[in-house]
Amino acid sequence: MNTSGGPTLLGFDVFNVATLLAAVAVFALLVALYTATTVRDPMAKRVKALNDRREQLKAGIVASTKRRNKLNTTNQTTDRMRAFLASMKVLQESQLKQAQIKLMQAGIRSKDAAVAVIFGRMVLPIVIGGIVIVGVYLLDWFPEWSAFKRYALVAGTLIMSYKAPDIIVKNKITKRSDAIRKGLPDALDLLVICAEAGLTVDAAFHRVAKELGKAYPELGDEFALTAIELGFLTDRRSAFENLATRVDLEAVRGVVTTMIQTEKYGTPLASALRVLSAEFRHERMMRAEEKAARLPAIMTVPLILFILPVLFIVILGPAACSISDNLMKS
């Protein structure tokens, strides 16, 4: 009951509701202002990590004692997981290498994460599946369910808990690959400009990473790492092959093949990259046209379920009300 005597809406005081909505709006405005005024450079942390990685690879040791202590703590946990998996005879070198490649494609460069992924595949079904099995069959969860539904719940939980690490990694790979694909034509255009300006390949990669780091941080990260590897690896071909391994894209593999052939045979780099850039832009336009062509079919279901009923109500509603009033008068 409203005791203030003010207007009400669905049993709530209008002034109280308006005050609450105004407070929410002010809070959202403050959050938006804070977000707009505290924009951080997405490449600063990445470049720092890449520079640390370069120093480690050059020196062959960890740069600082503090970081070594942190790595020791992490390595102890990883060693325990590795020892547990080795004792269960489930840790294979090929499986570990494949997991490391997938994590690199997802932007995770820690080798310890591969052991964690394999450990999660084994432990999550035991923990989560064991909880569901105990709850369903011993604690009598969902007593109204049939035996088939309970079995389906347990089997689905075991499968999903086993696949969960791979699904998470695959999702990160897909998002990262899409972000790199969007910026690749612009990166090739900048590489063409740098090549025509007389820059070396490693300097051109470094310049492109610097220029595109804010717009495409994932692509800038990969190009910066490639520039660093080109600077200290004895075999430059390995640096390009590492780029193709870290990025799960056919377009990047084409760029890597072009760069390797250019390094080997001395063919003009600018002309080859210009052709690749035009092809990638055409491919991007084709994908956009394909999505636009699918739009009418996708909009059919929302149109039938949500738009047409409202349209019928708006058009036929007044006529139905008039007919009802006339019938009541007669």
| Residue 11 scores a pLDDT above 50 | yes
pLDDT tens-digit readout, 117-170: 888 888 888 888 889 888 888 888 888 888 888 888 889 999 998 888 889 999
* Those residues with Cβ within 8 angstroms of residue 158's Cβ, 6 or more apart along the chain or in another chain: 125, 129, 132
Per the structure block, which two tokens stand in for 8?
């009400």
Give the separation between CA 255 and CA 204, rounded to whole angstroms: 14
- What mean pLDDT, rounded, does the chain reach? 80
Give the separation between CA 100 and CA 94, rounded to whole angstroms: 10
- Kindly state the helix (H) or strand (E) to which residue 9 belongs, with its residue range: strand 8-9
For the entire predicted model, the pTM comes to 0.64
Give the separation between CA 39 and CA 162, rounded to whole angstroms: 38
Per the structure block, which two tokens stand in for 111?
């080798």
Give the separation between CA 30 and CA 51, rounded to whole angstroms: 36
More confident: 210 or 15: 210
| Residue 238 scores a pLDDT above 70 | yes
pLDDT at 92: 73
More confident: 120 or 67: 120
Per the rule left: phi > 0, alpha: psi between -120 and 50, beta: everything else, 10 is left
- pLDDT band at residue 171, thresholds of 50, 70 and 90? very high
88 secondary structure, DSSP code: T
pLDDT tens-digit readout, 258-304: 888 888 887 787 888 888 888 888 888 888 888 888 888 888 888 88
Residues 67-74: what's their mean pLDDT? 52
Give the pairing type, strands 12-13 and 8-9.
Answer: antiparallel
Per the structure block, which two tokens stand in for 46?
């990445």
Give the separation between CA 217 and CA 247, rounded to whole angstroms: 14
Contact indicator for 275, 267 with CB cutoff of 8 Å: no
Contact indicator for 122, 159 with CB cutoff of 8 Å: no
